[in-house]
Amino acid sequence: MKAGIINIGSELTSGLVCNSNASHIGKILCLFSLDVGFILTLPDRVDTIVKALKQVCDGAQLVVITGGLGPTHDDCTKEALAKFTKRKLSFHKETAELVEKKLLERGVRISNERFLGAYQPEGMEILKNPIGTAPGLRFSHRGTEFFVFPGVPVEMEVMAEQYLIPYLEKVSRERRTIKVIRTFQLPESKINELLEPVIEEFPLLDVAFLPRHISNDIVINAPSEEKISLDRFVEEAKRALGEKIYGYDEDTMESAVGKLLRDKNLTLSVAESCTGGLVSNRITNIPGSSEYFMGGIVSYDNSVKINILKVKAETIEKYGAVSEQTAVEMAEGVRNVLGTDIGVSTTGIAGPSGGTKDKPVGTVWVGYSDREKAFAKKFIVDYNRELNKLIFSQLCLDTLRVELLREKGEGK
Amino acid sequence: MKAGIINIGSELTSGLVCNSNASHIGKILCLFSLDVGFILTLPDRVDTIVKALKQVCDGAQLVVITGGLGPTHDDCTKEALAKFTKRKLSFHKETAELVEKKLLERGVRISNERFLGAYQPEGMEILKNPIGTAPGLRFSHRGTEFFVFPGVPVEMEVMAEQYLIPYLEKVSRERRTIKVIRTFQLPESKINELLEPVIEEFPLLDVAFLPRHISNDIVINAPSEEKISLDRFVEEAKRALGEKIYGYDEDTMESAVGKLLRDKNLTLSVAESCTGGLVSNRITNIPGSSEYFMGGIVSYDNSVKINILKVKAETIEKYGAVSEQTAVEMAEGVRNVLGTDIGVSTTGIAGPSGGTKDKPVGTVWVGYSDREKAFAKKFIVDYNRELNKLIFSQLCLDTLRVELLREKGEGK
């Protein structure tokens, strides 16, 4: 079944807002095995919308439209839909009453212009909006089924759940399963090489690679009747990729680390220089992280490394703040000072300046310390400051994860 | 001048990735006063791409395409472009050599499949990719100028700067000026009320509101000949909105705070509980922040508040960790322990659990301490855990910013 998505709003075409509605609807359609042939983003302009609707909707069984349903002067989706389907726009009393009531509840003064929202193309089904004031629409036109939702993401999401999903459950014969295998520190070409025989073994599974800076994902899209093949694929991928897999589906590196710390009953502290608090921040994005994360020291200035973390001044003097020795002493220091089972650390050069010939921008040392050992690993990456910090934090969490896999976990 | 954007990639149409390339290009085109008539996102499928190119490019003077230029089996943009323009794909020796060299540098074993990236449509200009392996393309077809960039955002951004912007500087007769005024802690309806007379005074300026969780922005889009009106608008907005304006254009709350600290020659330290390192992380996203930011303590566990920050155990026992008293002692503590001019703190409940009737999820106390005073302010927000943390961090930075505006700044 062929489908398309149209998102209307000049804030989208001018790049002021990223089009997250498109990915939300795309994900839903894909789950129901629909073939999304296009996502079209258009400015708030009647003629442009009408022309585009005529061009792209042909051949699509379903088109989901978002945006431009509100009452302000730039909202023109309903006018465009009326022109496209050759219907009249007429005053819709129930909508007007509903909008009036909702606005009054919010204490909003009502002007005539506001009521423009109450004009609807004749003969279309009006879909109630449980949150906002602008209702949605549903209609058929030349063999295509149209759903029209407001552009406010939270309203669109609720209405997609209420109207679109029940429709898809009826019309879509098969529901697909999408499984994501998440890896790190394994280049796409290497994943390709390791998984090639597995991919060939399961020709009915649709396998794609999604390389990103902090995750190289393998996305498997399977028809529901191939559930057993999918499970077997995942098992074989596990064997092929081993501990490079840090999680599945919605897992993140910080959730993977959190699960291991909790399972092994171990506590963690973090000493950060170049990542500036990002490692601690990511760890504490996980609900319940207070069970294993005691705290962190952001030792941006060397005085903090020396006074709080008890890194030896001679170490910094002799080897520099960005060095194996300093990284190890930071990890040991934070573990001792905060009294945790494990301490990890980062010290490096995020850029754009501060690099030297020996220690270029993008150099990071990740330190690790537990009761039995302490070490540091060096990595070099080369992006902008924020991306370097993000990748540094991922390298730190991944180093911790791999050590945790080997930890016996005697606990506190 | 009419323009369009086409982003190719099944990871986009299936909703796995949000299309940030579209907003990046959209912003550039808009700055050069181009009229972006469509953004079209298409799956990696030759026929679909060719059909869409034929439908939408007609009438556009410029089309920017991203994605699908890589060497893997699903990348098919070049094949589609060859079909669309009726050209042959032929082996391109320079590209092959370049790809080979770049891959060798990364220690990647070269297989034949990788070389698919070296086939290019004949007669198109090959645009060198300074970061990745896949080059871009440039060509004209039936009155439309095409620029084709890889889909990896960081590569696309660099190449847009290198190839697209110089082209636009030549062809675009007028460059629009887009000015963004950034405010926080002022609802959209209040901004509207305060700015209404100013907006009416300058009818040639296109003014839009862009409300977001950590910033309520006012976007003014002006023809270049209205530069004086724009400047006057900004001056009058300053008078109307006062210190609620924290910055302009690319400014962030952390860059605004950094500028003030630097100007006043003051040093800062941060004690974080509920924000878990996010405040420190944001501060250190600014290059050169090591000049004023000494470090931070993430005192997630109460033991860290007591042992490192020297918060009195009785304070926590009597008032709780989430309280005015604890927030003040945390800010004072971090300022003393790290020896800075100013200390700020956060302690709150990010959720989803941990709330009580008196202290619901979303409650945060932001503490502030300098040599003359110490205080804490309470805020309540209500989103999910990560968004709560983000807003808490913004409230902390904004509290600091407003105090800094009043600081005389005697320095260290």
Residue B61, both tokens: 């003077």
SS3 letters across chain A: CEEEEEEECHHHHCCCCCCHHHHHHHHHHHHCCCEEEEEEEECCCHHHHHHHHHHHCCCCCEEEEECCCCCCCCCCHHHHHHHHHCCCEEECHHHHHHHHHHHHHCCCCCCCHHHHHHEEECCCEEECCCCCCCCEEEEEECCEEEEEECCCHHHHHHHHHHHHHHHHHHHCCCCEEEEEEEECCCCHHHHHHHHHHHHHHCCCCEEEEEEECCEEEEEEEEEHHHHHHHHHHHHHHHHHHHHHEEEECCCCHHHHHHHHHHHCCCCEEEEECCCCCHHHHHHCCCCCHHHCEEEEEECCCHHHHHHCCCCCHHHHHHHCCCCHHHHHHHHHHHHHHHCCCEEEEEEECCCCCCCCCCCCCCEEEEEEECCCCEEEEEEECCCCHHHHHHHHHHHHHHHHHHHHHHCCCCCC
Identify the CATH number of the domain defined by range B257-406. 3.90.950.20
CATH code matching the domain that covers A176-248, chosen among 3.40.50.10320, 3.40.50.740, 2.40.50.140, 3.30.70.2860: 3.30.70.2860
The answer, yes or no, to whether residue A10 has pLDDT greater than 60, is: yes
**What is the reported pLDDT for B411?**
44
Query: Which residues of A are less than 8 Å from B308 in CB distance?
Result: 295, 297, 308, 337-338
pLDDT tens by residue, B270-279: 999 999 999 9
The answer, yes or no, to whether residue B408 has pLDDT greater than 70, is: no
Question: How far, in Å, CA of A99 to CA of A102, rounded?
Answer: 5
B278: nearest CB among A42, A277, A383? A277
Q: Domain spanning B177-248: which CATH class is it, in words?
A: alpha beta
pLDDT tens by residue, B280-299: 999 999 999 999 999 999 99
φ/ψ of A219, rounded to 5, equals -110, 120
Q: Give the residue among B252, B275, B273, B279 at the shortest CA–CA distance from B342.
A: B279
Query: Which residues of B are less than 8 Å from A23 in CB distance?
Result: 12, 15-19
B41: nearest CB among A16, A38, A219? A38
Q: Which residues pair with B364 in a beta bridge?
A: B348, B379
Q: What is the SS3 assignment for B56?
A: helix
Distance from CA of A19 to the nearest CA of B (A): 7
**What is the reported pLDDT for B96?**
82
Distance from CA of B240 to the nearest CA of A (A): 22
Indicate the helix (H) or strand (E) that contains B389: helix B385-406
Are the beta carbons of B23 and A16 separated by less than 8 Å?
Answer: yes
Q: Sign (positive/negative) of CA torsion B80, B81, B82, B84?
A: positive
* C-alpha separations of A50 from A8, A148, B67, B260, B411 in Å: 12, 15, 28, 50, 62
Rg over CA atoms, chain A: 27
Are the beta carbons of A385 and B285 separated by less than 8 Å?
Answer: yes
Question: How far, in Å, CA of A279 to CA of A300, rounded?
Answer: 14
Mutation target vs B (from A10, A38, A179; most B CBs, 10 A cutoff): A38
Q: Where are the beta strands (DSSP E) in B166-272?
A: 177-183, 206-212, 215-222, 245-248, 268-272
Are the beta carbons of A43 and B36 separated by less than 8 Å?
Answer: yes
B338: nearest CB among A304, A338, A339? A304
Distance from CA of B125 to the nearest CA of A (A): 27
A24: nearest CB among B15, B23, B56? B15
Share of chain A above pLDDT 90, in %: 75
pLDDT tens by residue, A166-192: 999 898 877 788 899 999 999 888 898
Q: Give the residue among A48, A99, A54, A94 at the shortest CA–CA distance from A72.
A: A99
pLDDT tens by residue, A337-384: 999 999 999 999 999 999 999 999 999 999 999 999 999 999 999 889
Mutation target vs B (from A10, A16, A217, A255; most B CBs, 10 A cutoff): A16
Distance from CA of A22 to the nearest CA of B (A): 7
Listed by start position, the domains of chain A span 2-171, 176-248, 264-406
How many pairs of residues across A and B have Cβ atoms under 8 Å apart?
A: 266
pLDDT tens by residue, A95-135: 888 877 777 776 666 666 556 678 899 999 999 998 888 89
Query: Which residues of B are less than 8 Å from A337 in CB distance?
Result: 308
Mean pLDDT, all residues of chain B: 92
Query: Which residues of A are less than 8 Å from B219 in CB distance?
Result: 16
Question: Worst-scoring range by mean pLDDT, A214-218, B165-169, B210-214?
Answer: B210-214
**What is the reported pLDDT for A116?**
60
**What is the reported pLDDT for A111?**
60
Share of chain B above pLDDT 90, in %: 75
Asked, colleague to colleague, whether A2-171 and A176-248 share their fold, the answer is no
φ/ψ of B140, rounded to 5, equals -110, 145
Hey, what CATH topology would domain A264-406 get?
Answer: Maf protein (3.90.950)
φ/ψ of B356, rounded to 5, equals -130, 180
Share of chain B above pLDDT 70, in %: 96
**What is the reported pLDDT for A411?**
43
Query: Which residues of A are less than 8 Å from B52 in CB distance?
Result: 38, 56
Distance from CA of A303 to the nearest CA of B (A): 8
Q: Give the residue among A276, A323, A343, A283 at the shortest CA–CA distance from A304.
A: A276
Residue of A nearest to B296 (CA): A298
The answer, yes or no, to whether residue B105 has pLDDT greater than 90, is: no
> Cα A397 to chain center, whole Å?
18
Beta carbons of B151 and B20 less than 8 angstroms apart: no
**What is the reported pLDDT for A381?**
94
Mutation target vs B (from A39, A57, A210; most B CBs, 10 A cutoff): A39
**What is the reported pLDDT for A71?**
74
Beta carbons of A151 and A125 less than 8 angstroms apart: no
Distance from CA of A143 to the nearest CA of B (A): 20
**What is the reported pLDDT for B5?**
98
B10: nearest CB among A22, A41, A208? A208
Q: Crossing angle of helices A188-201/A227-241, nearest 10°?
A: 140
Give the total residue count for chain B. Answer: 412
Q: Give the residue among B107, B98, B105 at the shortest CA–CA distance from B71.
A: B98
Identify the CATH number of the domain defined by range B2-171. 3.40.980.10
Mutation target vs B (from A55, A186, A189; most B CBs, 10 A cutoff): A189
Rg over CA atoms, chain B: 27
Beta carbons of B186 and B244 less than 8 angstroms apart: yes
pLDDT tens by residue, B327-358: 999 999 999 999 999 999 999 999 999 999 99
Beta carbons of A18 and B18 less than 8 angstroms apart: yes
Beta carbons of B108 and A186 less than 8 angstroms apart: no
